[in-house]
Amino acid sequence: MPTNVRPRSQVPLEYTWDVTAIFASDAQWEDEFAAVADEAAGLARFRGHLGDGPSVLADYFDATERTLRRLGRILIYASNQHEVDTTDQVAAAMNDRAVGLFARTSATIAFAEPEILAIGFPTLRRWLAQEPRLAIYAHYVDTLERKQEHVRSAEVEELLGQVMDPFATASRIHGILADADLVFAPARSSDPDAEPIPVAQGNIDALLTDPDREVRRTAWESYADAHLAYRNTMANCLAAGIKQDVFNARARRYASALEAALGANHIPVEVYRNVLDAFVRNLPVWHRYWRVHRQWLDYEQQHVYDIKAPLTSNAPVVPFDQAVAWISEGLEPLGAEYVTTMRRGLLEERWVDVYPTRGKRAGAFSTGMPGTYPYVLMNYTDDLESLSTLAHELGHSMHSYYTWETQPFIYCDYSIFVAEVASNTNQTLVRDYLFRTVPDRDFQIALIEEAMSNLHRYLFLMPTLARFELAIHERVERGEALTAENMMALMAELFGEAYGDAVVMDPGRVGITWAQFPSHLYANFYVYQYTTGIAAARALAERILANTEGAVEHYIAYLKAGASLYPLDALKLAGVDMTSPEPVERAFAYVAELTDRLEGLL
Lowest mean pLDDT among 494-498, 519-523, 563-567: 519-523
Lowest mean pLDDT among 93-107, 159-173, 472-486: 159-173
CB 566 within 8 A of CB 266: yes
Q: What is the pLDDT of residues 350-400, one digit of tens each?
A: 999 999 998 898 889 999 999 999 999 999 989 898 999 999 999 999 999
Beta bridge partners of 6: 357
Percentage of the chain lying above the pLDDT 90 cut: 84
What is the SS3 string spanning 505-522? CCHHHHHCHHHHCCCHHH
Q: What is the pLDDT of residues 176-219, one digit of tens each?
A: 888 888 999 999 999 999 999 999 887 888 899 899 999 999 99
Percentage of the chain lying above the pLDDT 70 cut: 99
pLDDT given at position 150: 77
pLDDT given at position 2: 43
Task: Report the candidate in 360, 350, 361, 355 with the shortest Cα–Cα distance to residue 379.
Answer: 355
H and E: helices and strands count for the chain? 27, 3
214 is catalytic: no
Q: Is residue 582 pLDDT above 60, yes or no?
A: yes
Task: Report the candidate in 180, 182, 179, 177 with the shortest Cα–Cα distance to residue 237.
Answer: 177
Question: SS3 of 347, please?
Answer: helix
Instruction: Give me the mean pLDDT over the 425-433 stretch.
Output: 97
CB 3 within 8 A of CB 223: no
Residue 27 burial (10 A CB sphere; 0-12, 13-18, 19+): exposed
Domains, the chain, ranges and CATH? 8-167 (1.20.140.70), 245-316+412-602 (1.10.1370.20)
pTM: 0.85
The Cα 109–Cα 97 span in angstroms is 18
pLDDT given at position 1: 39
Q: Is residue 279 pLDDT above 70, yes or no?
A: yes
Q: Is residue 3 pLDDT above 60, yes or no?
A: no
The Cα 299–Cα 302 span in angstroms is 6
The 10 Å CB-count burial string (b at 16+, else e) for 145-157 is eeeeeebbebeeb
In sequence order, the 6+-apart residues with CB closer than 8 A to the CB of 489 are 511
Task: Give the strand order in the sheet containing 375-377.
Answer: 352-353, 375-377, 365-367
Q: What is the mean pLDDT of the chain?
A: 94
Query: Phi first, then psi: what are they for 279, rounded to 5°?
Result: -60, -50
Distance of CA 332 to the CA centre of its chain: 25
The length of the chain is 602
Could you say which of 393, 420, 449, 450 is catalytic?
393
The Cα 581–Cα 565 span in angstroms is 21
The 10 Å CB-count burial string (b at 16+, else e) for 276-304 is bebbeebbebbebbbbbbbebeeeeebbb
